[in-house]
Amino acid sequence: MRLLNVHTFAVESLDDIKRRLADDKKATDVPYVLLSHRWFPTEMTFGDMPAFVANGLRAPPEKARSATKVRGACAQVRAWRHNQKPIDYAWLDTVCINKTDPGETSETINSMYRWYKAATVCFVYLYDHPHDRGPFSSMTDSDWFTRGWTLQELVAPTALEFFYQDWRHLGNRKECSAELSPGTGIARGILEVGGPIGKTSISHRMSWFSDRTTTKGEDEAYCLMGLFGVNMPTLYGEGSQGAFRRLQEEIMKYSDDHSLFAWVDETATDDGTSSSSPGYGLLAPAPHCFKNSGHLQHHDDGRNLTPFSVTNKGLSISLRLF
């Protein structure tokens, strides 16, 4: 894991930071702020940062908006206080991940949810939400709420603060929960306390993604791994349906929640065929199929349930009839 020093703008290894703090006989816990944001068409990257620092925090014209965002984020972190103490580091996915290294990218995607939970606070930058709209009015109209990756950034952190496009403070997640809940489908109780989500049904968690999109099809599955506590290799090129099928198979390895099968393909016809994905069986072709399944709950009545699994001939499952 790497963190951005909000004073020097150097991207530093977390291990190196801890080692230096230990040498200085200081605590080795490193508080950091997570920045959650909507990507611009051209973003500052890990490889851009040395030249950015060397040029006095100036970036090429095509990356000027991104550079302004990075400078603004660091300024907010420098001004923030946690338990009356300053925070010196931030984590930004654009500059803290070396995306030219596929191995690092895969490891990072599998670690993100844990990193989000470990953050001292998450800053959400709503670049398209101006201050004159008022504190909460039309908040969820922001493009930030349509993206797949921002879903886990919304629910995972313990503390979360929203900012307008000019970096003025909008409010925290608890204060905004009444506006956020109907717009996201996430219960106010989860938003107000930042989880836990483990007791919510699989179909309920899947439904949170229903109106969101990702640039890459496979990310529809990858961005949900943390919500279900599973890990799997990222294989860009396998396609969205292949990735989402693997996600469901991983979920089945630890969960007996039958709401995993409570989905609807709106493109299906009366004869059982589908224009979106023929022959997918009991596993959904995409998370959007759970759009209307958010109300379902997993009921454990204490009886022993027969385990189910994926075999070479499909899903093997036994169900009680009522």
For residue 322, the model assigns a pLDDT of 75
Cβ pair 159, 194 in contact under 8 A: yes
DSSP codes, 93-114: HHHHS-TT-HHHHHHHHHHHHH
Q: Which residues of the chain have pLDDT under 50?
A: none
- Tell me what pLDDT residue 297 has: 85
Q: In the Cβ-directed half-sphere of 211, how many Cα atoms lie within 13 Å? A: 14
Give the global pTM. 0.90
Give the pLDDT confidence score for residue 320 in this predicted structure.
76
Instruction: Name residues whose C-beta falls within 8 Å of residue 220's C-beta, 6 or more positions apart in sequence.
Output: 148, 209, 214, 240, 243, 244, 286, 287
* Rg of the chain, C-alpha, whole Å: 21
Per-residue pLDDT tens over the stretch 105-156: 999 999 999 999 999 999 999 999 888 766 666 788 899 999 999 999 999 9
Q: Give residue 185's region: left, alpha or beta (phi > 0; psi -120 to 50).
A: left
Q: Which two tokens stand for residue 127?
A: 């670049």
Q: Residues 6 or more apart from 223 whose CB is under 8 A from it?
A: 148, 149, 151, 152, 209, 214
Q: Do the Cβ atoms of 210 and 288 come closer than 8 Å?
A: yes
